[in-house]
Amino acid sequence: MIKRLYNWVLSWSDSRWGWLALFIIALFEASWFPLPPDVLLIALCLGATKKSFRFATICLTGSILGAALGYCIGHFLWMTPAGEPTAIANFFYENIFSIESFNNVGNLYDKYNFWIVFTAGFTPLPFKLFTIAGGMFDINFVMFIIASTVSRGMRFFLIGWLIWRYGAPIKSFIDKYFNLLATLFTVILIGFTALAFWLFGSGDDDSEEVVPTTEEVVAIEESTEMATDDVIQIEEIAE
């Protein structure tokens, strides 16, 4: 089924309506479509290298509108007024993502907000799970759109630039290593940001040495354990 769907997506690369198909696939991938728009984006860029950035822009526009659509589905169409899951929610729970997956994402949103949206948008994590969960858990919509735009823009324009710069030979590299490199880049970026907050987050210049209390030490240990649990949750979601 997925193989046939993959071939169908690729078939649009030979059509004059390929750009429209790219927009529609990017739109619906952010809420329910199973294949990422990267597949068609790469094919279109290879067919018209000079238009790579135009295709990346179309892909980004569709994806951000799709992210907003996914958010609205989670916010308005997920629960009935009585607090019960709607038919749409039950369909997702039974056929696409379990309720535990959504709850795991909700826990991550409580702690990381911008960064978890960025991670989902730039890496191979299922973006639709995070867009719908964003609406379910009522995260800040403006922050959600900004994080989605930054992460999806970086992903699609990086693909467009690689093909514009290196042409067809870069395709096999993207197919094999792009998702891995995107994941590593995100981990490094978040790690350096966390380090910067740790080093410069406090504006106090007190000369006295601050000795942590027993309660603070326990809290740090608990935070470390929680962070480990979060990594495990992300790995489970990716699977």
Calpha distance 83→109 (Å, rounded): 21
Contacts 24+ apart (CB under 8 A), 229-238: 230/107, 230/108, 230/111, 230/112, 233/104, 233/107, 233/108, 234/108, 234/119, 234/125, 236/101, 236/104, 237/101, 237/104, 237/105, 237/125, 237/126, 237/129, 238/124, 238/125, 238/126
Contacts of residue 205, defined as CB under 8 A and 6 or more positions apart, other chains included, come to none
Residue 237 token pair: 């979601």
In a domain, 230, yes or no: no
In a domain, 234, yes or no: no
Q: HSE (CB half, 13 Å, CA atoms) of 132?
A: 26
Angle at 30 between CA 6 and CA 1, to 5 degrees: 25
Angle at 66 between CA 60 and CA 67, to 5 degrees: 90
Q: pLDDT for 11-54, tens place per residue?
A: 999 999 999 999 999 999 998 998 899 999 999 999 999 999 99
In a domain, 141, yes or no: yes
What confidence score (pLDDT) does residue 111 get? 85
- Per DSSP, the three-state class of 77 is coil
> What mean pLDDT comes out for the span 90-115?
90
In a domain, 1, yes or no: no
Listing DSSP states for 153-220 in one string gives HHHHHHHHHHHHHH-TTHHHHHHHHHHHHHHHHHHHHHHHHHHHHHHHS------SPPPPPHHHHHHH
What confidence score (pLDDT) does residue 57 get? 98
Chain mean pLDDT for the chain: 83
Domain that holds residue 58: 12-194
In a domain, 226, yes or no: no
In a domain, 3, yes or no: no
- 57, 90 in Cβ contact below 8 A? no
Q: How many domains does the chain have?
A: 1
Which residues make beta-bridge pairs with 79? 85
> What mean pLDDT comes out for the span 224-236?
51
Contacts of residue 154, defined as CB under 8 A and 6 or more positions apart, other chains included, come to 122
Crossing angle of the two packed helices 114-122 and 170-200, in degrees rounded to 10: 170
Q: pLDDT for 145-182, tens place per residue?
A: 999 999 999 999 999 999 999 988 888 888 888 778 77
Whether 224 shows a pLDDT value over 70: the answer reads no
Residue with the larger pLDDT of the pair 7 and 200: 7
Q: How confident is the model at residue 1 (pLDDT cuts 50, 70, 90)?
A: confident
Calpha distance 103→80 (Å, rounded): 18
Give the pTM: 0.77
Give the residue from 105, 145, 118 showing the smallest Cα distance to 238.
105
- 104, 233 in Cβ contact below 8 A? yes
In a domain, 5, yes or no: no
Least confident of 3-7, 118-122, 192-196: 192-196
Q: pLDDT for 190-202, tens place per residue?
A: 665 665 556 555 4
